[in-house]
Structure 1
């Protein structure tokens, strides 16, 4: 990564990007490892994702800290899924066995993609929510973070996290009920 940072002419931008990398690399690695189940591929995914991030560096500096985390998670998740698909295409015919699929302890990429597809419809409604509510719902349900992890990511107390999640779900239920023309389910 140092070679990539060296290519950035502006010293202030370079140091800021290095700080962002140091701050988010472990989270990005965790997300990639969860999808790929391979340390080396996860490292590759993180580096490829960060190169992608560097291509849009002018936009990143205008985003606040919590949204940068979410953005980095989205980018590395998509990169890891792409790597997974490429590996599956390359080796699927030769090495795919039912035993390998059964031994996978986490959700499959297909399950993640289906869950994300369903959440896309809900995401449209979430855009209408108060931004902190939308953020906390995304972290909880899209990225499967625990309440404790969300508390650390957003610098909230556990009680505040639970309260915000409750209020966010209630607001989302109200929006969904309005769309269906029904009453509030919350």
Structure 2
């Protein structure tokens, strides 16, 4: 797949930059997409769509190893995964992984309802709250790193995370 992507890029410098991005972040992007979609095939599609988008903006990425680049790729993947989740939700498509299908029918329904409720609640959060939650808990950034990425003070990040968690709890309580 990497060879296909590289064939879409004009300059050798951009090809080298893209190869670093691909090797360094493909697992992270898959993991992030899988957290939202809970489906391997859809998560792989999101990673591919993310890298297509990266090719479009490769000239704007200066340092493939910076935390800002990591956050940018994660943000793109998150939004693509949420878009796909919403698209699938409109069609009422529900996937079951192997572990789920071995459970009892009641357990299956509970797992599906809970995962959809959480993903839906996160998707409905304002972007500011959604971003800090995903950066903190989905990707493991520290509050200081999140502050640098989002240009916020450490204290503001902590308060935003607290508010985001509260909004998420409220949203889950309503459903």
Quickly name the TM-score band, shorter chain normalised: 0.5 to 0.7
Gaps in structure 1 of 5+ consecutive residues: 121-137, 155-166, 174-186
Gaps in structure 2 of 5+ consecutive residues: 96-105, 146-152, 160-175
* Aligned twin of 2:123: 113
Scaled by the length of structure 2, the TM-score of the pair is: 0.64
Q: Is the contact between residue 34 and residue 40 of structure 2 (CA under 8 Å) also seen in structure 1?
A: yes
Q: Which has the larger radius of gyration?
A: 1
- How far the C-alpha of 1:150 sits from its partner, in A, is 2.7
Scaled by the length of structure 1, the TM-score of the pair is: 0.60
Query: What RMSD over aligned residues (CA atoms) do the two structures have, in Å?
Result: 3.5
* Aligned twin of 1:55: 56
- Using the alignment, how far apart are the partners of 1:168 and 1:21 within structure 2? 30
Aligned residues: 138
Larger RCO of the pair (alpha carbons < 8 Å, separation 6+)? 2
Alignment match of 2:133 (pick from 142, 146, 169): 142
* Aligned twin of 2:155: 169
- Using the alignment, how far apart are the partners of 2:81 and 2:156 within structure 1? 33
Q: Is the contact between residue 49 and residue 75 of structure 1 (CA under 8 Å) also seen in structure 2?
A: yes
Distance 1:78 1:9, change over 3 A: same
Q: Is the contact between residue 46 and residue 76 of structure 1 (CA under 8 Å) also seen in structure 2?
A: yes
* Aligned twin of 2:173: none
